[in-house]
Structure 1
Amino acid sequence: MIVWQKPNAFKILFTLRGSVIPHIYPQILFITLLSALISAVQHWIPSSFSSYSTAPFTLLGIALSLFLGFRNNASYQRWWEGRGLWGQLVFDARSLTRQVLSFINEETETGRHTQQCMIHLTIAFTHALRHRLRNTSPWQDVDRFVEPEHHISMRQARNLPEYLLRLMGKKLGYSRRQQLSSDLMIQNMDERLTSMTVVLAACERIQNTPLPFAYTLLVHRTTYLYCFMLPFSLSSSLGWATPLVCGVIAYTFFGLDALSEEMTDPFGVAANHLPLTALSRTIEINLLEALGENDLPPDIIPKNGCLQ
């Protein structure tokens, strides 16, 4: 995620970090060159292209803008929902840790071990969820927080975060049987696990449910057709200014299309995706500090204005 403050007027024109230009410059270049070619033909061979009214393109441009705006709103809603879910996870992890440390009896070795296991499993769940959403290998981050006796069964689990939630549920059941906490507090802690399960299911829903393909295809086709036909309409009236105007319009429409496509899946590693690594590290630091550990990992800091 880009964390730069608003750049000045000069940087706005030339900043590429976080911009969609690297993804759409071939389309912009093609439309600009096509416009230049059409302008040259119209200049050297007048009346090569009939003077069409720009009214149809104005109406089509308005309709295309509405389509792109709706699609961008839908994509941003998915991005913001994903951020809200990870904010809920931060809340649940901290609340569960506070309850575990406050209401599980720590006067016995069993109680202290249960507290540590519950907090470590919460950290492991956070890392496992991030890796599941990004389709990356989780073992380097997860193994150190899970007891070795569970490593084999953990690797056989098809849904690692859900497996870790089951382990945490078993720990709560064990705490109840050993009378390490009251039934009421066990129930309250189980509600935090239920909330974490909701976060997992909602994140999977966002990741596994793309925007309708037919709608995406319609926007793609209309954008390309509009930008391809526009120079033929403008060349007779704008002359050599046609490439500049068409290039700016192509940048706007192709840029909106590419940005909405990028934000459809908010859990990736692109510049405009959510900083899941930083959020996971924040949870890890907070929970280890609450557990009383001093060897804490460093905070994730932005690199070139981008927070992963």
Structure 2
Amino acid sequence: MYTGNHYNIRVFLFWTRRDIYKLLLIGAIPTVLYKIFNWNWLTVPWVPIALVGTAAAFIVGFKNTQTYNRLWEARQIWGSIVNSSRTWGIQARDLGNVPADDRKCMIYRHIAWLTALRYQLREPRSWENTYKPYNMEFREKYYKIPEWETDLETALKPYLTDTEFSYVMQRKNRAAQIIAIQSGHLKNWREKGWIGEFTEIEMQRRLADLYDQQGRCERIKNFPYPRQFGSINLYFIWIFVVLLPFGLLHEFSKLGSNFIWLTIPFSVLVSWVFTSMEKVGESTENPFEGSANDIPIATLSRTIEIDLRDMLGEKDLPAPIVATNKILL
């Protein structure tokens, strides 16, 4: 998540500069052929190009709306996780006559669930964009992904017993198994008489809420923005970008011979607007992949951990995660 008022234009140009190089080439080739080699037949009437541009504008607008909806839904889910986690913390701390060590285990196990969940959400998918050259270059220069800097075993081990850690690490969906362990311990609490049946039911509801929130995250993670829409968005924009200089040649030729050279900067400018809109939508469609525009799940998890451990009265709390180059993950 970018925390500044807006991206600095220098940063944005760095991110999109590979496209700018392509656009310069696409604009320069027909202009040079027209002006230097007198290939006057290269001009194309503006009307068909404008129709393609209109279609491209509609489809890129549609995509950006839908990808923003995916991002906003993901943020709402994690807002619910924050609230459910705090509720779980006060229930585990205050309800029943449970020994302090068992309360602490229950809360630490919840932090383990947050840790396992965020690591699962950062696992790459074939349709994600984080390994595209311009995104890798941007990431290496401006930020790091916490889940890629520390392995899961190191991050998870402090919050589980040795037995639980060994069990969880052998499972595929580790986050789901941690909640299952929580449920088993609630049953054990009731059998020992530490909590009543009503308390167990209420706390089981919180676990059901967490399962629901995890499932909603997994739905966004494992189901991409439909590839057919993403494909036509890309095709339409680049068809327009390639045709644009030929239309501008036609228009600038009406102003005089020397005005032909204006085709290059204006075609780059107009094309850059469209390709940048496409890139912004692309960078928003997978809100857990590790881009600068992701939901800051590591930051939110750290905030929850601080709150829960503070409820236990601990003094040695972890520090909040701070933004690197105004980027939080």
Q: Same fold (TM over 0.5)?
A: yes
Structure 1 residue 133: Cα displacement: 0.4
- The alignment-based identity, stated in percent, is 26
Whether contact under 8 Å (1:267, 1:273) holds in the other structure is: yes
Identify the range of structure 1 (264-273 vs 297-306) with the bigger mean alpha-carbon deviation. 264-273
- Take 2:157 and 2:49, find their aligned partners in 1: how far apart are those partners? 58
Aligned to 2:135: none
Match status 1:217 vs 2:227: no
Call closer, same or farther: CA 1:138–1:104 in 2, change over 3 Å: farther
Aligned to 1:206: 220
- Take 2:232 and 2:325, find their aligned partners in 1: how far apart are those partners? 36
Structure 1 residue 50: Cα displacement: 5.0
Whether contact under 8 Å (2:3, 2:326) holds in the other structure is: yes
Match status 1:102 vs 2:123: no
- 1:265 alignment partner, one of 274, 279, 286: 286
- Take 1:277 and 1:293, find their aligned partners in 2: how far apart are those partners? 21
- Take 2:42 and 2:268, find their aligned partners in 1: how far apart are those partners? 21
In structure 2, runs of 5+ residues without a counterpart are 124-146, 253-259
Structure 1 residue 156: Cα displacement: 0.7
- Take 1:305 and 1:50, find their aligned partners in 2: how far apart are those partners? 46
- Take 1:51 and 1:37, find their aligned partners in 2: how far apart are those partners? 13
Aligned to 1:128: 116
Question: C-alpha deviations, 1:86-128, integer Å up to 9, x for none?
Answer: 111110110011111121314xxxx222211110011110111
Give 2:21's aligned amino acid: L
Aligned to 1:118: 106
Match status 1:15 vs 2:7: no
Whether contact under 8 Å (1:289, 1:296) holds in the other structure is: yes
Match status 1:297 vs 2:318: yes
- Take 1:173 and 1:15, find their aligned partners in 2: how far apart are those partners? 57
Whether contact under 8 Å (1:49, 1:232) holds in the other structure is: no
Structure 1 residue 45: Cα displacement: 4.4
Question: C-alpha deviations, 1:154-205, integer Å up to 9, x for none?
Answer: 1111100001000110111111111212211211111111010011111111
3-state SS of 2:40 partner: coil
- Take 1:50 and 1:138, find their aligned partners in 2: how far apart are those partners? 58
3-state SS of 1:15 partner: helix
Structure 1 residue 243: Cα displacement: 1.3
With normalisation by structure 2, the TM-score equals 0.85
Number of aligned pairs? Answer: 296
Aligned to 2:189: 175
- Take 1:146 and 1:64, find their aligned partners in 2: how far apart are those partners? 52
Structure 1 residue 270: Cα displacement: 1.6
With normalisation by structure 1, the TM-score equals 0.91
Whether contact under 8 Å (1:28, 1:251) holds in the other structure is: yes
Match status 1:226 vs 2:240: yes
Question: C-alpha deviations, 1:23-46, integer Å up to 9, x for none?
Answer: 543332222223123223322344
Whether contact under 8 Å (1:29, 1:247) holds in the other structure is: no
Aligned to 1:241: 262
- Take 1:155 and 1:47, find their aligned partners in 2: how far apart are those partners? 67
Aligned to 2:170: 156
Aligned to 1:74: 66
Structure 1 residue 282: Cα displacement: 0.4
Q: Which runs of 4+ in 1 moved over 4 A?
A: none
Call closer, same or farther: CA 1:247–1:253 in 2, change over 3 Å: same
Call closer, same or farther: CA 1:104–1:229 in 2, change over 3 Å: same
- 1:186 alignment partner, one of 186, 189, 200: 200
Call closer, same or farther: CA 1:159–1:271 in 2, change over 3 Å: same
